[in-house]
Every structure is written in structure tokens, then in C-alpha cells.
């Protein structure tokens, strides 16, 4: 088994090195792109070192204080440890979901080619889960917590803490593996994966707003209840409020073992808690093995389905645009609306901003601008448009790699680089328009109000903002391409880090002229109709400039054609 772990560690190291310097021919821009893509993970690792050291020192000091009786009461120290471990358990349950949702069946089908038994693969993946950040930062704290007890002269407590800590690590690793394998198995079916992703994203967004809806009711209950129920907050009072099922949580089992050993002085009860924790680890490991076996069986029986090629002939035409550019736009719009990222980017901004406005309008006296939403709902419409422009960045800022193999087919067809770049820009505008329709309906239903001229001006301003950044989006997509999977939510479909940052600054800069035209008073003497005409003129100017710049940027696309081929 040690040999398998060493082989997988070497494999991950080689994959990291190959991600930076590939054997294929790369130009300087490609090397810079790969190095920039590693900056964010490197910063996360460096910043995580501080938290790991802090948790480790906290465990050492807490264990010593628990053994010597200094600083705080034993039940308070144990409660703090329980709270921190509960947070780690929550991270173990929720964090692997995102990574597992990005995993494709290719990973597991390739693992089947290795000369390793299925049980060996399962054990290796569970042990490798200990290196996940949400588990790794707890391990030094658990180890030094036992060391702190030994430092304080309580070797018996240190032994119990060490055994409980090792059992807790096994439980967390097995639980993370069970969640990861289960989500990967559920997401094997493409349609089921897309449906689950959309439901999850919308559910998280709605649940995040529920506390605001319930805030008024809670405030009323507090006013009616007065001072009843008030009193000092103690560990016993908090424990009395916990539900019964919380006793089976790994953090509570660890806390129960330490409470029995330190506070109650009952070593047998402490070992009983540790035994339950060990049994829980065995159960989670066994369940993760069952799901892992089902996942490998599904990967081994993976059959290639016949894929249908999207129809290239669009049902509509714009007179100044060539048929080839319209065909490219039609394919990108079709692909975007069929993907998870595209549906979320188009469907979510409008309804989400409408929900936010409903929450905000419940307290109109908290800020003077809140009351304006009832009579100036085009402001909500404008914010929704701005959010939608950023939401479609996975397509616009990585437009040549979001199609994956579709780009190869487009290069093989009689489509010039100019038509390709302009078609992609038109497709992004179509996605913004669809999001604008949904956002407009949601804003009108949620708030309803404002002059029709203001609504039209907001729509024109949103289109002008998008058109302004289209040349930058095309250039960044050509310079910093990155492989993306739009069928899954999460980081797997994000554009390159540099492209995302530049796109964010470009979007903020592009909206400034729109605000100057739209905000009353910034154009002295301008009527609403005059501002609408000025906004339409600005849209015409930026469209003409962007149309010419896209032709120049198409040369960059042609020069980096080989790199775009290799990015899949």
C-alpha cells in the first residue's frame, strides 16, 4: 500500500510539472498563461500556512491549558474545540461537492487501466483525501492538542486525545470520500448533472436570502418576548439547545470523549465515546467503498453516445453580418443555452436581483435609495444587466476554448478568422439580450415603476457596456485560452485568471460613460429623451469601433491558431 501511495504522489507531482512545462510546442504567451494560472493556487497555499500554524498553536496551548487548568474552565476549552471541529466537519461535507461535480468519467476509466486492485484504489483515494485543505489544517491541531496534554503532565488524557484524533481523521477522510464518490456517481449522467447543478445554484441563492425574510418576524418575537429567556450564555445552556442527532457528529463524539475524561473523570465512558468514533469511521469507510465500486463499474461500462452536430444555419440574419459569422453566433448561443453555466448566467441574474429588491423593500427607511426602487425599477434592471454581463464571462472571456472540440470543426469549415471573432461577439450579445428580457420581466414584477424611456435607455446602456468590452474579451480569449467544461458549475468552466481580472476592470470602466449619460444632472439641460438619444449614439459609436477592432484582433487569433487547437 505504501508503494501505491508513493506512486500516486509521484503522479500528482509529474502532472503539476507537466501543467507548467508541456512537451508540446508552446510559445512565450502560453508559458506566461500557465504560470499566471498557478498564481492564485500558490497564494491560497501560502495564505493557508498561516491558518494551519494558528490552529496548531491553538491546539498545543489548548491541550496544555486543559491539562493544567489555566486560562479557562475545561468545559469551555473543550467546547471551543468542538466548535472548530464542527466547522471542519461542515467543510468536509460541502467542499468536496464542488470538486466532485467537476470530475469526469475519464478520470475513473483511466484509473481502471492501472494494475491496482479496486480496494487498493479506494484506500489510496481515501488516504489522499487527508491532503485536502479542509482536512489538512485540522491534523496539526489534533496532534498538538494531544502533545499539549502530555506537556501538561496528563499522559492518560494525551493517549485518549491521540486515539480520538486519529479516529476523527479517519472519519473525516472517509466522509469526504463518501461525499465525493456519491456526487461523482450522481453527476455521471449529463442531463441529471445539469438539472442538479441548476437546482443547487438556485437553492443556495434562495436560502442565502431566507434569513433576511425571517429577520422581521424574529425581531417581532423578541419585542413580544421582552427580556424573557435572557441570561448568561454557558456551555450547559448551549448544549441543551442542541438537537439529539448532533450527538453522532464526529466533533461531538470527540468532545464527548474529552468531556468524560477531563470534566467527569470517567475513563471508561471516554473510551466508549472513542469506540463509537472508531465505529463511525469504519461505517463511513465501508459506505465509501461501496459507492466507489459502483462508480468504477459505471466508468468501466462507459459507452460513447453518438453526438449530434449542432445545426450551423441560423433561423435569423442581420443584413450587415456575413452568413458565416451568423452561423458561428448561432452555434455558440445554442451551446451556451444548453450548458449549465449558460443557463445559470442567463436565467439567474434577473430573478436573483428581484429577490434582493423584495428583501430590501421590506425596510425602506434604512437608506434613502431604497424607496427609489418602487418608482425607478429600471435601476434594478440596470444592475441585473451588469451582473449578467459578468455572469457570461466564462463564454466571452474564454470564447475560443468554451466550445472545446467545436472550435476545431469551425476552423475546418470555410469560416474566416474575422467571421469567427465577430460571430462570437454577436453570440455574447444575444445571450445578454436573453438575460435582459428575463431581468426586465423580473424587475417589473418585483418593483414595477419608472418611465418607459428610462427602461429603454437602460437596455441600450447595457448593450453599449457589453459591446465596449467585446474587443478586449476576444483578445484575452486568444492570448489566455484555458480548457473549460461548461456542462458543470464551479472553477472547471472559469476563464483564465488574468482574463477574468482584466474583464472585471474593463467592465467597470465600460460602464462609466453609460452612467455619465444616464444619471440625471451629469448632462446639464438634457431631457430623458435627449439622454436616450445620446445613449443610442454612444452605442452606435462603440459598435463601429468594436467592429473594426475585432477585425484587427482576428489576426491575433489566426497567429495563435495552433495554441487554440491544443487547448481542449
Note the Cα 385 to chain centre separation in Å.
Answer: 21
Task: Kindly report whether the global pTM for this prediction surpasses the value 0.85.
Answer: no
> What is the 3 state secondary structure string of 182-215?
HHHHHCCCHHHHHHHHHHHHHHHHHHHHHHHHHH
Q: List, for residues 464-474, the tens digit of each pLDDT value.
A: 999 999 999 99
Residues 6+ positions from 234 with CB-CB distance below 8 Å = none
Note the Cα 402 to chain centre separation in Å.
Answer: 17
In 284-435, beta strands by DSSP E = none
User: What pLDDT was estimated at residue 463?
Assistant: 92
Question: In 348-404, where does DSSP find H-type helix?
Answer: 349-360, 372-375, 378-391, 393-396
The CA-based diameter of the chain, rounded to the nearest angstrom, is 85
Q: List, for residues 190-215, the tens digit of each pLDDT value.
A: 666 666 666 766 666 666 555 555 55
Nearest alpha-carbon partner for 464 in 531, 554, 394 = 531
Q: What share of the chain is helix, strand, coil (3-state, %, to 5)?
A: 80, 0, 20
Question: In 38-187, where does DSSP find H-type helix?
Answer: 39-68, 74-102, 105-111, 118-128, 133-136, 139-151, 155-186
User: What pLDDT was estimated at residue 305?
Assistant: 45
**Angle formed at CA 466 by CA 208 and CA 411, multiple of 5 degrees:** 105
User: What pLDDT was estimated at residue 362?
Assistant: 64
**Angle formed at CA 343 by CA 337 and CA 348, multiple of 5 degrees:** 145
Residue 370 contacts residue 363 (beta carbons within 8 Å): yes
User: What pLDDT was estimated at residue 63?
Assistant: 82
Q: Cell 496532534 appears where?
A: 143
Residues of the chain with pLDDT under 50: 23, 25, 217, 221, 224, 226-229, 302-310
User: What pLDDT was estimated at residue 304?
Assistant: 44
Residue 367 contacts residue 444 (beta carbons within 8 Å): no
Amino acid at each position: 500500500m505504501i508503494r501505491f501511495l508513493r506512486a500516486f504522489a509521484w503522479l500528482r507531482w509529474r502532472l503539476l510539472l507537466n501543467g507548467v512545462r508541456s512537451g508540446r510546442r508552446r510559445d512565450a504567451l502560453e508559458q506566461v498563461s500557465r504560470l499566471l494560472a498557478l498564481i492564485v493556487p500558490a497564494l491560497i497555499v501560502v495564505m493557508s500556512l498561516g491558518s494551519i500554524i494558528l490552529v496548531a498553536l491553538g491546539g498545543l496551548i489548548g491541550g496544555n491549558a486543559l491539562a493544567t487548568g489555566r486560562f479557562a474552565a475545561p468545559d469551555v476549552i473543550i467546547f471551543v474545540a468542538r466548535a472548530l471541529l464542527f466547522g471542519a466537519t461542515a467543510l468536509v461535507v460541502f467542499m468536496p461537492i464542488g470538486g466532485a461535480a467537476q470530475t469526469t468519467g475519464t478520470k475513473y476509466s483511466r484509473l481502471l487501466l492501472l494494475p491496482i486492485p479496486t480496494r487498493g484504489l479506494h484506500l489510496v483515494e481515501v488516504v489522499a483525501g487527508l491532503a485536502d485543505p479542509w482536512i489538512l489544517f485540522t491534523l496539526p491541531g489534533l496532534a498538538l492538542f494531544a502533545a499539549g496534554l502530555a506537556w501538561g503532565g496528563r499522559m492518560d488524557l494525551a493517549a485518549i486525545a491521540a486515539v480520538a484524533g486519529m479516529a476523527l481523521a479517519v472519519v473525516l477522510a472517509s466522509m469526504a470520500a463518501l461525499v465525493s464518490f456519491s456526487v461523482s456517481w450522481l453527476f455521471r449522467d449529463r442531463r441529471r448533472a445539469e438539472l442538479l447543478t441548476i437546482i443547487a445554484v438556485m437553492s443556495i441563492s434562495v436560502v442565502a436570502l431566507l434569513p433576511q425574510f425571517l429577520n422581521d418576524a424574529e425581531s417581532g418575537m423578541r419585542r413580544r418576548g421582552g427580556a424573557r429567556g435572557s441570561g448568561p450564555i454557558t456551555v450547559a445552556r448551549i448544549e441543551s439547545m442542541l438537537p439529539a442527532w448532533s450527538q453522532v457528529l464526529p466533533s461531538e463524539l470527540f468532545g464527548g470523549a474529552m468531556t468524560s475524561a477531563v470534566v467527569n473523570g470517567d475513563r471508561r465512558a471516554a473510551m466508549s465515546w472513542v469506540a463509537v468514533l472508531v465505529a463511525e469511521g469504519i461505517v463511513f469507510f465501508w459506505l465509501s467503498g461501496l459507492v466507489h465500486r459502483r462508480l468504477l463499474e459505471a466508468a468501466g461500462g462507459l459507452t460513447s453516445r453518438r453526438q449530434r452536430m449542432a445545426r450551423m444555419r441560423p433561423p435569423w440574419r442581420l443584413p450587415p453580418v456575413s452568413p458565416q459569422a451568423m452561423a458561428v453566433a448561432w452555434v455558440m448561443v445554442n451551446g451556451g443555452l444548453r450548458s449549465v453555466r449558460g443557463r445559470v448566467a442567463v436565467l439567474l441574474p434577473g430573478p436573483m436581483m428581484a429577490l434582493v429588491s423584495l428583501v430590501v423593500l421590506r425596510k425602506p427607511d434604512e437608506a434613502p435609495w431604497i424607496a427609489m426602487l418602487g418608482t425607478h425599477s429600471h435601476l434594478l434592471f440596470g444592475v441585473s444587466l451588469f451582473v449578467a454581463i459578468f455572469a457570461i464571462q466564462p463564454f466571452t472571456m474564454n470564447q475560443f476554448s468554451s466550445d472545446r472540440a467545436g472550435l476545431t470543426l469551425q476552423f475546418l469549415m470555410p469560416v474566416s478568422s474575422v467571421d469567427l471573432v465577430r460571430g462570437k461577439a454577436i453570440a455574447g450579445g444575444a445571450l445578454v439580450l436573453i438575460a435582459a428580457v428575463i431581468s426586465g420581466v423580473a424587475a417589473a414584477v418585483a418593483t414595477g415603476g419608472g418611465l418607459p424611456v428610462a427602461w429603454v435607455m437602460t437596455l441600450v446602456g447595457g448593450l453599449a457596456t457589453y459591446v465596449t468590452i467585446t474587443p478586449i474579451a476576444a483578445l484575452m480569449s486568444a492570448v489566455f485560452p484555458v480548457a473549460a467544461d461548461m456542462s458543470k458549475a464551479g472553477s472547471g468552466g472559469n476563464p483564465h485568471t488574468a482574463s477574468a481580472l482584466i474583464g472585471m476592470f474593463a467592465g467597470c470602466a465600460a460602464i462609466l460613460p453609460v452612467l455619465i449619460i444616464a444619471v440625471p444632472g451629469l448632462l446639464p439641460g438634457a431631457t430623458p429623451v435627449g439622454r436616450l438619444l445620446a445613449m443610442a449614439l454612444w452605442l452606435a459609436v462603440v459598435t463601429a469601433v468594436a467592429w473594426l477592432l475585432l477585425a484587427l484582433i482576428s489576426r491575433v487569433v489566426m497567429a495563435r491558431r495552433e495554441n487554440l487547437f491544443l487547448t481542449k
